């Protein structure tokens, strides 16, 4: 899944007739026959299932997928995922994990979904699971959630003997999300078993499992599309991490891989999609049809996907051929939106070709579909062959969308397509190694984006937006190692975070930089080939990289992956030498001996060694070491910011670096600014040193460098800004910092300007408005007034909406809030709702926040219109901005606290959404009184924190750090501002 600040949680080839999976019975003929016997009157579900007789086991599992184009050695042998010994081995060293019993090993699922009921939002289904019984048992335990099991049958074949048992005895444990099927007598061990279950399920509205999304149609829809007032509905799935069990009974663990056959009974005028291409479509009675799909590759349950709706598509093809054919790539949307998929479609085929070349394995499936989903928890989900996306992560309107979404879409598409190899083809063995999926996909996503758009300078973007967030989370005591113990899979959603994604990416980037990209990618190819269609652990990746490089990668990377935190390197200068000492960095600065037990392998990447004009690949492998031959005039550590650590230079050296900007790359400037900000926050260095370095950047015009400096000043304003003298002084410094660049870019864009200049213009104009630049604010409000008077004659350019909306909020909050709420209701722009919510969150009027905006967030008063409600998946956008607002922050917390049950109900109990709201709403407080209130509310006897307890501890640590910084350095900040003429 994709999740970054750009966002915030990613093979198909022609079948070969010579190799086949488990033979399948003629399910479609059965379905059609039943349909013509009045299917709508609901015959027993077993009549829609496969035959209870298991398939012959002479070819029970493939040695390789039928449609794989890679040579046979690339495909994991049957031993990896079908032998008894292999299955039992998965339990080795896992005794502390809460996993399913090692009784039944699934190999293949045959799933039928039928009787979609759009009135009661329910459906019926039947699944046959072929596999092995590896020990005698009366009980089969598998995962279910919010399903009703109706009946079950199991057929066990031993040689020529076949026995069958039926059961309607089901015991459901909702806490563990498991059901136990008890049969009348003990079942014998067998490698040839078929378990069939009939069930019913719910088409929920919780963005998990098999669920419905509501939307306002952009064009007339097919007659059968479900609708409610002005809303229409589409159906889709979201199974990662543990929600396949919401849609059908299954063995829902990542290392219990299997193949899948799927058939969907749907209205005849709607479209069905799944991982694989459609195999056949047959009409049935009642205006319906049954769509069956080709058999999937061996994969984890969380990667299965399907969707039903009023879909249309745009299509393109790869340049490369796969199995003798160019690969079809489609972007699907609900009717009326397909043209907004063109930007994504321009990228996806190129990215597939690029990754196929870089990873030395062709994309393994016969198609690649993209689906825009109207209500979506994450940024995107990498379902194999059917990737699903949040609307703003995939659709772009050339006339109405903001330019920054080009960058977002290109990256997210690349991230999800990287998953088709790293995560789907080779899957982490268990959730504690989630970073193998997400860290690599994040790195590869940036790699591909940089390949397609070198002018975007995405690696400086990653340092500014990605690494900085990883540093922030990993600097608190309650962070976690990249490879974190996950005993219960139901807790895994909390580690879909900046550590798994962004620190994980930083580790890959650091290692690739030190091994060399060519060598690194060679090791990746070895890893993928050896483990294709199987599961792997982190050490297997290190072994492959060691094989490619001849370097002991495991010893280098083990502390980075298995230990919490990162080091700060403290520098002591001597005559042409430096002493470097590493210790764990904590944002609170109070490192205890027990916190500082790790010694990291640290690539120093020194620039400024005497006699060398390049970067010296020195390393620190002990707690402290001295390096000779270092220039006294200029030196720098962590050149190009490839290492994941902070550098604490002597204050005089940092000040000198601020005068030597010509020696620094863009990456260097971003890194040094961020490092100085973190060191000031923690008390390792002074805020004055940070401000002096930023002061030296006042002639800077690079978007990413200025963004990092403005982010750092923004943090200072957030912490110290309730002091008017400090707030005004920081505003004066800010306007001085941006003055040169602001005059260069102005309000109007040039026809041939580069992408980053457009982003810079928006950032500078918005910064000018926020910091009370009179001329810019007046011009922005004038444009707003003209737009309000005559929208068609004076439209607001998409990239200027944020500064203009912000000026209007400041100048006329009451009228602007009303206008922006109307804009939110009516905007046709895909990204327009997000931009309106962000602007509304900056309202500083307490009465408006209380009476208008918070009720708008939670819909606590009768709505003026049916659309007067922020969808659960977007609530964090508004809340996150409101929490940056000094007036709104305490009001938001009070509202959450006093309406917790209602808030929780609105989010449908979805732990991902609750976790996200807590994470964006609370960490910016700077006082211990609010911290105490939060601890009381969520403490013993308070509300349950299951599903966000880890995040809550991180939030509390962040508040402690901010409160300590404010208490320690308020007067120091004031003194620097006064001493330098800003206050």
pLDDT tens track for 215-251: 999 999 999 999 988 899 999 999 999 999 999 999 9
Calculated CA dihedral for residues 662, 619, 690, 443, nearest 10 degrees: 80
Question: pLDDT by residue (tens digit) across 942-977?
Answer: 888 988 999 999 999 999 999 999 999 999 999 999
Distance CA 860, CA 853 (A): 11
Query: Backbone phi, then psi, for 341, in 5-degree steps?
Result: -90, 5
Write down the residue that tokens 């300078």 correspond to: 457
Query: For residue 125, how many C-alpha atoms fall within 13 Å in the half-sphere facing its CB?
Result: 27
At 656, list the tokens: 């000198």
Q: CA of 502: how far to CAs of 2, 536, 545, 557, 922, in Å?
A: 11, 21, 21, 16, 21
Q: Which of 416, 457, 823, 834 is catalytic?
A: 416
> Which architecture does CATH list for 567-670?
Sandwich (2.60)
Is there a common fold for 27-318 and 567-670?
A: yes
Calculated CA dihedral for residues 934, 935, 939, 941, nearest 10 degrees: -60
Supply the mean pLDDT for the chain.
Answer: 89
C-beta of residue 166 within 8 angstroms of C-beta of residue 116: no
Distance CA 339, CA 398 (A): 10
What residues contact residue 841 under an 8 Å CB cut-off, 6+ apart? 853, 877, 878, 879, 880, 881, 882, 884, 885, 888
Write down the residue that tokens 């999609």 correspond to: 273
pLDDT at residue 421 is higher than 50: yes
Distance CA 397, CA 405 (A): 10
C-beta of residue 864 within 8 angstroms of C-beta of residue 822: no
pLDDT of residue 752: 86
Query: Percentage of the chain surpassing pLDDT 90?
Result: 81
Task: Note if the bond before 603 is cis, omega within 30 degrees.
Answer: no
- For CA atoms 662, 666, 671, 676, the dihedral sign is positive
Query: Percentage of the chain surpassing pLDDT 70?
Result: 89
pLDDT of residue 2: 60
**426-452 average pLDDT score:** 95
> Regarding beta strands 615-616 and 606-607, do their DSSP bridges make them parallel or antiparallel, or are they unpaired?
antiparallel
**419-426 average pLDDT score:** 97
C-beta of residue 214 within 8 angstroms of C-beta of residue 373: no
At residue 679, the 3 state secondary structure works out as helix
The CATH number of domain 27-318 is 2.60.40.1730: yes
C-beta of residue 860 within 8 angstroms of C-beta of residue 899: yes
What residues contact residue 935 under an 8 Å CB cut-off, 6+ apart? 956
pLDDT at residue 29 is higher than 70: no
Distance CA 679, CA 720 (A): 16
**628-641 average pLDDT score:** 95
At 953, list the tokens: 């501890």
pLDDT of residue 825: 87
Question: pLDDT by residue (tens digit) across 605-615?
Answer: 999 989 888 89
Q: Is 416 a catalytic residue?
A: yes
Give me the residues paired with residue 572 across strands. 579
Number of H helices, E strands in the chain: 31, 31
| pLDDT band, very low/low/confident/very high, at 59 (cuts 50, 70, 90) | very low
Q: Which residue has the higher pLDDT, 267 or 74?
A: 267
Residues constituting the chain: 983
Burial 412-431 (b: 16+ CB within 10 A, else e): bbbbbbbbbbbbbbbbbbbb
| pLDDT band, very low/low/confident/very high, at 63 (cuts 50, 70, 90) | very low
Query: Backbone phi, then psi, for 921, in 5-degree steps?
Result: -90, -30
> Residue positions in the annotated binding site for Zn(2+)?
415, 419, 438
C-beta of residue 682 within 8 angstroms of C-beta of residue 585: yes
At residue 822, the 3 state secondary structure works out as helix
Q: DSSP assignment, residue 258? A: B
pLDDT of residue 61: 31
C-beta of residue 584 within 8 angstroms of C-beta of residue 596: yes
What residues contact residue 585 under an 8 Å CB cut-off, 6+ apart? 475, 565, 566, 567, 568, 591, 645, 646, 678, 682, 684
Query: Backbone phi, then psi, for 869, in 5-degree steps?
Result: -160, 130
> Residue positions in the annotated binding site?
415, 419, 438
Write down the residue that tokens 């335990």 correspond to: 141
pLDDT of residue 55: 39
pLDDT of residue 859: 63
The ranges assigned to domains in the chain are 27-318, 567-670, 697-811
Element (H, E) at 848: helix 846-848
Distance CA 881, CA 885 (A): 7
Question: pLDDT by residue (tens digit) across 463-506?
Answer: 999 999 999 999 999 999 999 888 888 888 887 889 999 999 99
What residues contact residue 839 under an 8 Å CB cut-off, 6+ apart? 801, 802, 805, 806, 809, 820
Distance CA 376, CA 381 (A): 9
**658-682 average pLDDT score:** 96
pLDDT of residue 581: 98
At 314, list the tokens: 């745009």
**856-875 average pLDDT score:** 65
Question: pLDDT by residue (tens digit) across 330-378?
Answer: 999 999 999 999 999 999 999 999 999 999 999 999 999 999 999 999 8
What residues contact residue 894 under an 8 Å CB cut-off, 6+ apart? none
pLDDT of residue 30: 34
C-beta of residue 149 within 8 angstroms of C-beta of residue 197: yes
Element (H, E) at 776: helix 774-789
> Regarding beta strands 368-373 and 325-334, do their DSSP bridges make them parallel or antiparallel, or are they unpaired?
parallel
At 444, list the tokens: 């590869």
Q: Could you please report the per-residue DSSP string of 664-702?
A: S-HHHHHHHHHHHHHHHHHTSS-HHHHHHHHHTTTT---
At 234, list the tokens: 């589409």
Question: pLDDT by residue (tens digit) across 700-736?
Answer: 999 999 999 999 999 999 999 999 999 999 999 999 9
**424-442 average pLDDT score:** 94
At 908, list the tokens: 């449908």
Distance CA 390, CA 377 (A): 8
At 274, list the tokens: 């799944």
Distance CA 105, CA 253 (A): 11
């Amino acid at each position: 899944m994709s999740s970054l600040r750009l966002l915030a949680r990613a093979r198909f080839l022609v079948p070969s007739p010579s190799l086949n999976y488990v033979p399948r019975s003629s399910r479609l003929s059965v379905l059609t026959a039943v349909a013509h016997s009045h299917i709508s009157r609901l015959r027993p579900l077993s009549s829609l299932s496969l035959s209870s007789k298991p398939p012959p086991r002479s070819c029970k599992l493939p040695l390789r997928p039928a449609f794989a184009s890679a040579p046979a050695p690339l495909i994991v042998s049957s031993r990896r995922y079908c032998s008894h010994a292999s299955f039992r081995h998965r339990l080795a060293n896992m005794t502390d994990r809460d996993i399913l019993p090692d009784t039944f090993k699934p190999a293949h699922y045959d799933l039928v979904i039928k009787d979609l009921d759009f009135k009661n939002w329910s459906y019926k289904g039947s699944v046959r699971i072929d596999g092995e019984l590896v020990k005698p048992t009366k009980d089969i335990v598998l995962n279910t959630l919010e399903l009703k099991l109706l009946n079950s049958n199991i057929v066990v074949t031993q040689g020529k003997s076949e026995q069958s048992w039926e059961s309607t005895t089901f015991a459901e444990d909702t806490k563990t999300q498991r059901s136990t099927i008890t049969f009348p007598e003990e079942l014998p061990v067998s490698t040839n078993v078929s378990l069939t279950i009939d069930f019913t399920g719910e088409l929920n509205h919780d963005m998990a499992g098999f669920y419905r999304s509501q939307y306002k149609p952009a064009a007339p829809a097919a007659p059968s599309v479900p609708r409610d007032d002005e809303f229409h509905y589409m159906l889709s799935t979201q199974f990662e991490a543990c929600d396949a069990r919401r849609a059908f009974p299954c063995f829902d663990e990542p290392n219990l891989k299997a193949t899948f056959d799927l058939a969907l009974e749907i209205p005849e005028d709607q479209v069905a999609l799944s991982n694989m291409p459609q195999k056949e479509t047959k009409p049935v009675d009642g205006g319906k049809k049954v769509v069956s799909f080709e058999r999937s590759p061996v994969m984890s349950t969380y990667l299965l996907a399907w969707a039903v709706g009023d879909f249309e598509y745009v299509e393109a093809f790869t340049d490369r051929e796969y199995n003798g054919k160019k690969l079809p790539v489609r972007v699907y949307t609900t009717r009326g939106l397909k043209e907004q998929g063109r930007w994504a479609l321009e990228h996806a085929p190129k990215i597939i070709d690029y990754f196929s070349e870089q990873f030395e394995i062709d994309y393994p499936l016969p198609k690649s579909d993209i689906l825009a989903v109207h209500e979506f928890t994450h940024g995107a989900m990498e379902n194999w062959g059917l990737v699903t996306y949040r609307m703003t992560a995939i659709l772009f309107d050339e006339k109405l969308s903001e330019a920054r979404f080009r960058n977002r879409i290109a990256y997210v598409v690349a991230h999800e397509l990287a998953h088709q190899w790293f995560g789907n083809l080779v899957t982490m063995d268990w959730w504690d190694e989630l970073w193998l999926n997400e860290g690599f996909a994040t790195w590869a996503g940036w790699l591909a984006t940089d390949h397609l758009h070198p002018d975007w300078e995405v690696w400086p973007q990653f340092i500014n937006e990605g690494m900085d967030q990883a540093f922030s989370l990993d600097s608190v005591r309650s962070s976690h190692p990249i490879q974190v113990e996950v005993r219960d899979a139901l807790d895994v959603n909390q580690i879909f975070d900046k550590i798994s994604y962004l620190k994980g990416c930083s580790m890959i980037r650091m290692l690739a930089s030190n091994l060399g990209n060519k060598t690194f990618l060679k090791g990746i190819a070895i890893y993928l080939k050896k483990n294709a269609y199987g599961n792997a652990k982190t050490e297997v990746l290190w072994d492959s990289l060691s094989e490619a490089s001849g370097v002991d990668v495991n010893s280098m990377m083990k502390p980075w992956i298995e230990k919490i935190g990162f080091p700060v390197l403290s520098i002591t200068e001597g005559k042409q030498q430096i002493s470097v000492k590493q210790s764990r960095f904590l944002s609170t600065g109070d490192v205890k001996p027990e916190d500082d037990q790790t010694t990291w392998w640290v690539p120093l990447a020194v620039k400024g060694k005497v006699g060398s004009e390049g970067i010296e690949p020195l390393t620190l492998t002990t707690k402290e070491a001295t390096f000779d031959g270092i220039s006294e005039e200029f030196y720098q550590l962590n050149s190009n910011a490839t290492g994941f650590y902070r550098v604490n230079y002597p204050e005089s050296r940092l000040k000198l670096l601020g005068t030597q900007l010509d020696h620094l790359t863009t990456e260097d400037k971003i890194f040094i600014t961020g490092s100085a900000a973190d060191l000031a926050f923690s008390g390792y260095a002074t805020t004055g040193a940070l401000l002096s370095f930023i002061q030296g950047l006042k002639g800077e015009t690079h978007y990413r460098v200025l963004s990092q400096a403005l982010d750092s000043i923004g943090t200072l304003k957030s912490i110290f800004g309730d002091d008017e003298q400090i707030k005004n002084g920081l505003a004066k410094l800010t306007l001085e910092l941006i003055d040169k660049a602001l005059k260069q870019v102005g309000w109007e864009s040039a026809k041939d300007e580069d992408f980053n200049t457009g982003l810079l213009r928006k950032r500078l104009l918005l910064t000018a408005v926020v910091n009370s630049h009179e001329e810019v604010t007046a011009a922005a409000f004038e444009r707003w007034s003209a737009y309000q008077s005559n929208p068609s004659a004076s439209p607001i350019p998409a990239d200027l909406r944020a500064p203009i909306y912000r000026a209007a909020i400041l100048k006329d909050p009451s009228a602007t809030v009303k206008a922006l709420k109307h804009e939110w209701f009516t905007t046709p722009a895909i990204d327009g709702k997000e931009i309106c919510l962000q602007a509304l969150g900056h309202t500083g009027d307490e009465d408006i926040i209380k009476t208008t905006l918070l009720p708008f967030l939670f819909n606590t008063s009768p709505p003026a219109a049916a659309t007067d409600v922020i969808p659960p998946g977007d609530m964090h956008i508004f809340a996150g901005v409101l929490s940056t607002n000094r007036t709104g922050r305490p009001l938001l917390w009070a509202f959450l606290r006093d309406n917790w049950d209602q808030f929780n109900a609105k989010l449908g109990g979805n732990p991902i959404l609750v976790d996200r709201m807590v994470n964006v709403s609370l960490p910016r407080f700077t006082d211990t009184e609010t911290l105490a209130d939060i601890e009381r509310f969520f403490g013993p006897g308070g509300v349950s924190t299951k599903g966000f307890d880890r995040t809550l501890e991180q939030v509390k640590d962040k508040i402690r750090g901010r409160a300590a910084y404010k208490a320690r350095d308020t007067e120091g900040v004031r003194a620097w501002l006064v001493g330098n003429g800003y206050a």
